[in-house]
Structure 1
């Protein structure tokens, strides 16, 4: 057993709640731009005074609509300015936010709203409202539905005009540090989602220590962050609350379809994303270079960036020749890549899945350091992350200051700290199993090095045991294979089988480019190309790269390209893009059998 901890850098308030932050900002930084929202296609700043006033107006409306202190209020919307506004308004009304992914099915909505006992539901669109209405008969606690796109903000503010400031002030002070701030339902890779109860204390401990440890990334008046992750995900909430706590300017966009355009217009100094975002940026840049006949130059520049970054970790640093090459490519390639990321930022924080060592070195080598972290819903997002000044690429960093990471005898990662959830809503049995002896049992397998840097090697319940008795952690090889531009998803199989295999889906965007470059018929798809020898060879190269990260016994010996995608709608992946292995295995049982047939 091994454990590591760091002293807390932030003193969690003995009492109070998250609404204290917006009151403090208005008092201490009244004219500071704390938010930015799109108005007529252009970014428009919102200062701390205006944001507090808008929050108070909506909070009064919620009170007038019947929301009581301690009530659960559901928020079903894409990431947008109104999401943040409503979140703080719910807290200001003394209530508890229950975020719901905007992609949720009526059945999922019914479960979350019913299990949490939601009193009021705030939705973004008419389609969202229709989904809630379709299950409303099974939600006896639900008092009403308000739609953002049906002028909910203005209408709530209007009905709240008769609520006094004194009444609101009492509500804003009603929640204490150890009261629930939110109930975030886990994505549920198996079974029904469980509601993680995160308190105001959880967010203070989490965000306060993140901001203090990464202080150069959260400089008030200088820094800004663009939130494009789902605000319903706990990582999105970390971005929201940490930005308000710093405070730095926060902008929100609803999806990543036009992310490069949004980055160019907002120009954030800090980006928080998941590995797939950084993979997409790299693959898009490489594909464009190849299309322009500059593929060889790009690959040389990429290899130079990786070599330069690796050399930074050596006592002597990069040699002179490498420095000169790096300087040349900085003018030719790296500067353009940084411009794609907004042009002002030097750092990003990545979580949700392993980034991959090669990609980590590539980004640091081009002058845009991606700090990898690790966390779960139950840990209020990050429970470990790489510090800005002592990064170890390939690890998920050191523990959140003020918390402890322990590696149990069986390799499971155990956690302790004020940032942890207090339990699962209405589920004492699951709570007792997860929070045993004062430690949260993550279900992840990992190691700690001598400096306290954590490496996650797999999921305890996802360990595959082959017929030969070899234990295989699928995450390592899956992440390497998934890093190839052609690959959208990869799932390793082989439990009880003679060898390890894999199911592979293709990235539809890059498949089209690949097909054109390789002279395939116009309109070629995964269905028409899945047996194409050139495509199979290209995917085999991705598999070979993945195999290089593991032992021979753990390597993928055969794979099958699927003619469809793993989708959230089909239940194959969660909203946070985690594989539901049991569902995939069931739906693609014939494909798995074909790997081992003969």
Structure 2
């Protein structure tokens, strides 16, 4: 199949902008809890914020922005972790017709300079003194930048007090002037291969994304009779994280914020907030399973966990075949084994997330089939999706009740997917962005005849319209023998092994394919403590298992184990946790050379 589309299910935004939902909800249900704030840093108590109270905070802050000289259509940057004030500023800026320019809080001074200069930002909200110093180091090169506000220095109450001199009618006039095609966000891509590009996301784009998900997937946010709630922890500087918070506010889903992704901070937040749905990236799901496996190993029950994982995968596969009409479902023995592990293992995995999550969503990068099956078998069906910054997050998702693990689902209602003759994925629909900011060359490169946007991803559609992503077009490895290799399938299979934390496949213009691998240190320590087989030999077995998925010419012939994991801090990962392939290859050039200086196995 070369093309697939579904008709829209959500009404098109015909007037106004995203901020209107805050004011309309407050008018209809002033006392309804729409957000929850943590009492104190790292505490386990949450204070609910009603719709009218949130509206008033938004309006007061918006009037303060006007008093500070922020004008309709001007770009204002936000550089902070995921916290209540990020959402508050989003709706205040949209209330005055300003454009949000998200900046990752881990950005270097040069990255900050590029984004602020390219967007023409007139002001920036930072979280703390370190961020202010980063901006201060480059502000002399930014003539458009007029204001810097610091959250931890009390800028919110200061702006709210300043705004009392602005008449509320002026704020209403600014909000009413916003149109669906007005730009809401200038969202910058991760810049894995070059300078980040600013994607112009309109109010209509974000509304279409949120309303489509709420209309088609509203039932997975919570069981009947249970108030839906979501804990936002993905960076709001990424379109996925920003979409999650906007969707929650727009759909009346109780929204909490968690700024730290470290397991020691995130898992207690799950337990105290108890969300009804989890929206995350594959990295988070991998860490949840790795943490559960390591915990079992510490208690001397690693073999029990591995057996339970195998049963979960086989059980989910049987359920999948039955749902798709190609099998009878799990047999009696498999059902019995699955039932036995429910209390011992699966319930404990769900309890880590607070005990109320029944459905989960994954995006940002493709999720491996085996990991998807493991979670489904443990009672947490993951609805994997696919999208880009340019598509305002998801453009495909798994249909409810008809999940095909290993794919990224079918086009969302109102969207269309086409496979180009060279295998590139093209998309079209209401969520596709308005173009790149001040970059006519990039705009010419991305658009195709008929309004199709070239994604840069390679993929295929099955007869029922399910999309499978096989890799990035620019990441395809071509060996010196002329063999084209898509690294994604090998990397996914390697990461599924308990010892492997991260990996990158290399081999461009080389005689064979190789891999750089980082290890899960806790898993290695546990294995060493139990005097289990040599780690290098175990990694070799993982490589051999990954190679079973490809031909001999595409297989990994050699590998090196690296001393440190890839991270955002060392520049090897983007803030959205994607590999910076060029940076990794450059940093570990000597290790790569040593691979090819030795004979291949």
How would you bin the TM-score normalised by the shorter chain?
Answer: over 0.9
Equivalent of 1:454, from 467, 470, 490? 467
Equivalent of 2:371, from 347, 359, 362? 359
Equivalent of 1:369, from 381, 387, 393? 381
Equivalent of 1:418, from 408, 411, 430? 430
Q: What SS does the corresponding residue of 2:491 show, helix, strand or coil? A: helix
Number of the residue aligned with 1:224: 229
More displaced stretch, 385-394 vs 189-198: 385-394
Confirm or deny that 1:235 pairs with 2:225: no
The answer to whether the 8 A contact 2:231-2:256 is kept is yes
Q: What SS does the corresponding residue of 2:361 show, helix, strand or coil? A: strand
Confirm or deny that 1:297 pairs with 2:315: no
Equivalent of 2:412, from 388, 400, 403? 400
- Whole-angstrom distance in 2 between the partners of 1:435 and 1:24: 37
Shift, 1:589, TM fit: 1.3
Shift, 1:302, TM fit: 1.4
RMSD: 1.5
Equivalent of 1:391, from 403, 407, 417? 403
More displaced stretch, 27-36 vs 491-500: 27-36
More displaced stretch, 322-331 vs 533-542: 533-542
Q: What SS does the corresponding residue of 1:423 show, helix, strand or coil? A: coil
Equivalent of 1:50, from 46, 50, 53? 53
Alpha-carbon displacement from aligned partner over 1:286-321 (angstroms, at most 9, x marks no partner):
111121111222222111111111111233111122
Shift, 1:216, TM fit: 0.4
- Whole-angstrom distance in 2 between the partners of 1:194 and 1:213: 31
The answer to whether the 8 A contact 1:72-1:117 is kept is yes
Number of the residue aligned with 2:277: 270
- Whole-angstrom distance in 1 between the partners of 2:115 and 2:151: 20
The answer to whether the 8 A contact 2:517-2:559 is kept is yes
Shift, 1:221, TM fit: 6.4
Equivalent of 1:110, from 108, 113, 123? 113
Number of the residue aligned with 1:445: 458
Shift, 1:579, TM fit: 1.8
Confirm or deny that 1:164 pairs with 2:167: yes
Shift, 1:16, TM fit: 1.1
- Whole-angstrom distance in 2 between the partners of 1:511 and 1:134: 41
Shift, 1:469, TM fit: 1.8
> Structure 1 pair 549/30, CA: closer, same or farther in 2 (3 Å)?
farther
Shift, 1:213, TM fit: 1.1
- Whole-angstrom distance in 1 between the partners of 2:166 and 2:382: 46
Alpha-carbon displacement from aligned partner over 1:29-61 (angstroms, at most 9, x marks no partner):
322211111112221111111111111111111
Number of the residue aligned with 2:88: 85
More displaced stretch, 174-183 vs 307-316: 307-316
Number of the residue aligned with 2:480: 467
The answer to whether the 8 A contact 2:294-2:522 is kept is no
Number of the residue aligned with 1:522: none
> Structure 1 pair 148/308, CA: closer, same or farther in 2 (3 Å)?
same
Number of the residue aligned with 2:196: 193
The answer to whether the 8 A contact 1:206-1:400 is kept is no
Number of the residue aligned with 1:7: 7
Alpha-carbon displacement from aligned partner over 1:110-162 (angstroms, at most 9, x marks no partner):
11011111011100011001111111101111111000000111001000011
- Whole-angstrom distance in 2 between the partners of 1:407 and 1:181: 30
- Whole-angstrom distance in 1 between the partners of 2:537 and 2:236: 39
Number of the residue aligned with 2:581: 581
Confirm or deny that 1:346 pairs with 2:358: yes
- Whole-angstrom distance in 1 between the partners of 2:524 and 2:116: 40
Confirm or deny that 1:37 pairs with 2:37: yes
Shift, 1:393, TM fit: 0.7
More displaced stretch, 478-487 vs 373-382: 478-487
Alpha-carbon displacement from aligned partner over 1:208-253 (angstroms, at most 9, x marks no partner):
1111110202469611111111111111011011111211111110
Number of the residue aligned with 1:526: none
Alpha-carbon displacement from aligned partner over 1:467-526 (angstroms, at most 9, x marks no partner):
22211001111122123333232111111211110011223343433343338xxxxxxx
Number of the residue aligned with 2:67: 64
Q: What SS does the corresponding residue of 2:164 show, helix, strand or coil? A: coil
Alpha-carbon displacement from aligned partner over 1:316-362 (angstroms, at most 9, x marks no partner):
11112221221221122211111111100111101112221111111
Number of the residue aligned with 1:255: 260
Shift, 1:542, TM fit: 2.3
> Structure 1 pair 147/83, CA: closer, same or farther in 2 (3 Å)?
same
Confirm or deny that 1:176 pairs with 2:188: no
Q: What SS does the corresponding residue of 1:567 show, helix, strand or coil? A: coil
The answer to whether the 8 A contact 1:221-1:248 is kept is no
Equivalent of 1:311, from 308, 318, 321? 318
- Whole-angstrom distance in 2 between the partners of 1:6 and 1:56: 38
List aligned pairs for 1:89-104, cutoff 5 A: 89-104=92-107
Number of the residue aligned with 2:293: 286
More displaced stretch, 219-228 vs 123-132: 219-228
Shift, 1:559, TM fit: 0.2
TM (norm. structure 1) is 0.95
5+ residue gaps, structure 1, are 520-532
- Whole-angstrom distance in 2 between the partners of 1:169 and 1:90: 13
- Whole-angstrom distance in 1 between the partners of 2:291 and 2:567: 22
> Structure 1 pair 85/221, CA: closer, same or farther in 2 (3 Å)?
farther
5+ residue gaps, structure 2, are none
- Whole-angstrom distance in 2 between the partners of 1:305 and 1:511: 24
Shift, 1:426, TM fit: 0.8
The answer to whether the 8 A contact 1:217-1:223 is kept is no
The answer to whether the 8 A contact 2:311-2:334 is kept is yes
